[in-house]
Amino acid sequence: MKPGIHPDYHPVVIEDSSTGKRFVTRSTATSAHTVTWTDGHTYPLIVVDVTSDSHPFWTGAGRVLDKEGRVEKFEQRYGRRVRPGKEG
């Protein structure tokens, strides 16, 4: 990498605003808010709306779409179409 052209990449604490869970990672993001982590170091605190702790895909709380019976529902709404010369 060329020196002097890349942003500062440093440790930060990410906090999920909906669950309150925090974890340390590295990022180029900065914040005026800081927090002291369990290792005794002070890191910038980045508050985000969704992390893997609260996202429905990762928590398993996502709704399951009904894939069974889609053809039957279509046929109930619009009727079954039969092409001329074809049976069933």
* Residues of the chain above pLDDT 90, percent: 40
- Residue 88 in domain: no
- Residue 4 in domain: no
H or E segment to which residue 10 belongs: strand 10-16
Alpha-carbon span 68 to 48, nearest angstrom: 36
How many domains, the chain?
Answer: 1
Query: Across 1-5, 19-23, 33-37, 73-77, which has the greatest mean pLDDT?
Result: 33-37
- Residue 3 in domain: no
Domain of residue 49: give its range.
10-78
The residue that leads in pLDDT, 82 or 63, is: 82
- Residue 85 in domain: no
- Residue 87 in domain: no
- Residue 84 in domain: no
